[in-house]
A and B are shown apart, each in its own frame.
Chain A
Amino acid sequence: MSERRSLLFGLMGEFSTPEDLLAAAKKAREAGYKHIEAYTPFPIEGLSDAVGFRGFRSNLVAVLTLIGGIGGGLTGFGLQYWVAAIAYPINIGGRPLNSWPAFIPVTFELTVLGAATFAVFSMLALNKLPQPYHPVFNVERFSHASTDKFFLCIEARDPKFDLVESSKFLQSMHAQHVNEVKDEE
C-alpha cells in the first residue's frame, strides 16, 4: 500500500438521497471498481453489500461475540467450580461441593458480560476506531456525511482509478459535487 500511496486518496461524489448513492455504488462495482467506500448519516440496507463488504469478514463481529460469550460462560463456571470445590471447599451438611445449579446465575451473567464486551470492542477494533485522522475528513463538505448527505469515495489505490474517468463516472451517476480527497502524508 505504501508504494502506491500518493497525495491523492481518492475521489468523492456527493449524493442527496440514499437511493442515488446505492445505485451509484452498485454501478461502480459493476464497472469494475474494487476499492470503494460509501459514507452515510444512517445505515442503509444493502449498501455494505454494494460496496463489496460481504462474506465471512462481514460477520466477524458476530463470530467474536460468540467466542466472547462462550469464554465468559466457561470462565464463570470454572471460577465457581474451582472456588467452591478446590480452593475453598466448605462442607455444609455433606452436600456436594460442585453444587452446579447454584452456579447458573453467575455463569449466565458472565456469559452475557463476555459476549457484550466482545461485541462492542470487536466492532470498534475491526472498524479501526479510535482513529482521529482519516483523509476523507479533509473534504470540506464531508461534515454533511453525519447530517443529510450521502457520499461515495472511489479510492486512488483502485487499479481502475483514473482522475478524469472516475470523475466522469461519478458525475454520470448524478453526483451533486465531486471532490478530490487529499491525503496529508
Chain B
Amino acid sequence: MSGDEKLPGGHEPEPWIEPGHTYASVTDKISSVVLTRPLGIGWLLGFGFLFSIVMVLNLAIGWLFMKGVGIWGINIPIGWGFAIVNFVWWIGIGHAGTLISAILYLLNQKWRTSINRFAEAMTLFAVACAGLFPLIHTGRPWMAYYMFPYPSTMGIWPQFRSPLIWDVFAVSTYGTVSLLFWFVGLLPDLATLRDRAKQRWQQVIFGMLSMGWRGSARHWHRYQVAYLLLAGLATPLVLSVHTVVSFDFATGIVPGWHTTIFPPYFVAGAIYSGFAMVLTLAIPMRKAYGMEGFITLRHLEQMAKVMLATGLIVAYGYFIEFFMAFYSGNKFDVFLAKQRLHGPYAPFYYALILCNILTPQLLWFKKVRRNIPALFVMSLIINIGMWLERFVIVVISLTRDFMPSAWGRYSATVWDYATFVGTLGLFTMLIFLFVRGLPAIAISEMRELVHQESHGDEGHQ
C-alpha cells in the first residue's frame, strides 16, 4: 500500500474488504446468492407481503383513474399535495445511487465498490416510483404523451420555457442514463453468472443478457472508456436533475419557493436522503446474505459521514431561507417564515428540524457512526425528515400565500396514503427481486479490489 494511504498515527486503515478473500471466493460468495441459494421462508413471506402492498397501489391507481384526482386531498389552492411531495422525495432518494456510482468513481474512492451496484438499482426503482406521481397527478395520464414534442395533427408543441417541461426531459434522461450505467456495470457480472450457472434456464437467460461478453483486453478497454465517460456525464446530470426539480418551485412567485438557494439545497437534500436510504437497505441486506465482509463497518461509517456533511448543508439551507425572508423585508416571505413556526402546520416544521438537523448531530460521535442499530434508526429518521421537508415546502406555501381570501387547508385522504405506501411496497418489492435475480455487489469490481488490496500487502513485505 502506498505511503499516502497510511493514517497519521502510522497504523494501517481498516481494509475495504475482509482479508483472505480471493478472486474465486468473492465471485462465489456474491454469485451464489443468485444462482444456488434456495428461496428462504423469510424472503417468500417478505415478498408476499410486499406484493400485497403493490396490489393496494394498483387499487389506489385504478380508483384514481375511474374517479379522477378528486379522490385525493388536493383542491385549489393546494393543487400539488402528496403527489409532488412524494415525487420530489423519491427522485431525491435516487440521487445517492448516482453519486456513489459516478462521483465517487471519478474521485477514485474505493469504498464505492461494494455498494455501487445496489445503490444504482435503488436509483432506478426510486426514479420509477418518482415518475409515477407526476404522471398520475396529471389527471388524464393517458394524455401524458402531450408533454413530449411530437408532430400532432393539431400543430401544438410543448412550451419549452416551462420548468415542468424541463422536468420531463430531466427525469426521463436521468432514468435512461441510470439504466444504461447500471447495465454497463452489470455486463461483466452477467457473463460471470452465465459461466457459473449450472441450470439450463439460468445459462440461457444470463447468456442472452451478457451478450457474449468474454472479457478480452479490447472489450475491457472500450468498456472502461465508456464507463468513465458515463460517470463523467452522470455527475453533472444528477446535479441538474434536482436543480430542475427545484426550478419547478423556484421559478414560481409563491412565497417560500421563489428563492435562489433552492437548487443547491435541493441537491444536498437529495444526497442526504439517498444515503439514508442506502443505509436503510444495506444494513438488513448485509446481515441477511452474510455480506459483512464486503460491506464493512467502515463503509457504513463512511456513509454516515456523508450524511452528516450533506445534513449540515441542508441545515444551512433552512437557515438561509429564514435569513433571506427577513433580510428581504418582503412581507409575504416574512409572513410565510412565521407561518412555518406558528401556523397550522408548525408541528410538521418542528418535526422536520428534529429529524433533519438535531438528530443527525449524533453522527459527530464515532461511537454512533459505528453502532449499526443506531445508524439504521437514524437513516429511517432522516428519510422521514426529508419527506417532511418536501411536505413543508409544498403545503405551507400553498395554503397561505398572498390573499387570506384565497387561503386553504390541506389534509391527505386514505387514497393519498394508499398510493404513497403502495410505492414504498413497489420499491421494496423490486429490491427483493433484484437481490435474488442479479448480483447485488459488482463482482468484477470486487475482484479488482482484491487485486489492489493484495498488491498493497506485497508492497509492505
Contact = CB atoms under 8 A, between A and B. Distances in A.
A120 B224 CA distance: 11
Interface stretch (B137-145, B165-173, B375-383): B165-173
Contact of B207 (A37, A41, A99, A132): A132
A134 interface: yes
Contacts of A123: 184, 222-223, 225-226
B180 interface: yes
B176 A129 contact: no
Interface in A112-134: 112-113, 115-117, 119-120, 122-124, 126-127, 129-134
B36 to A, nearest CB: 15
A153 to B, nearest CB: 8
Contacts of B330: none
Interface stretch (A2-10, A100-108, A156-164, A169-177): A100-108
A38 B223 CA distance: 15
A39 interface: yes
A147 interface: yes
A62 B229 contact: yes
Interface of B: 22-24, 27, 149, 155-161, 163, 165-166, 169-170, 173, 176-177, 180-181, 183-184, 188, 191-192, 194-196, 207-208, 211-226, 229-230, 233-234, 236-237, 240, 244, 247, 444-445, 447-448, 451
Interface residues on A, range: 35 or more
Contacts, number: 188
How would you classify the secondary structure of chain B's contact residues: helix, strand, loop or mixed? helix
Interface in A54-97: 58-62, 65, 69, 79-80, 83-84, 87-88, 90
12 contacts: A41-B188, A47-B217, A62-B229, A87-B155, A88-B156, A109-B244, A112-B237, A133-B212, A146-B191, A147-B24, A147-B192, A148-B447
B173 A110 contact: yes
B160 A102 contact: yes
Given A43-B224, A109-B170, A112-B236, A83 B215 contact: no
Contact of A40 (B211, B215, B230, B247): B215
A131 B196 CA distance: 19
Given A116-B180, A116-B230, A148-B24, A87 B157 contact: yes
A143 to B, nearest CB: 4
A88 B220 CA distance: 47
How would you classify the secondary structure of chain A's contact residues: helix, strand, loop or mixed? helix
Contacts of B161: 84, 99, 102-103
A13 interface: no
Contacts of A11: none
Contacts of B223: 43, 123, 127
Interface of A: 18, 25, 37-44, 47-48, 50-51, 53, 58-62, 65, 69, 79-80, 83-84, 87-88, 90, 99, 102-103, 105-106, 108-110, 112-113, 115-117, 119-120, 122-124, 126-127, 129-134, 136-137, 142-148
B230 A38 contact: no
Which of A90, A127, A131 is the most central at the interface, judged by chain B CB atoms within 10 Å of its CB? A127
Given A87-B157, A88-B155, A123-B222, A116 B233 contact: yes
A145 B212 CA distance: 13
A124 B229 CA distance: 14
Given A105-B244, A106-B160, A109-B240, A146 B192 contact: yes
A112 B240 CA distance: 11
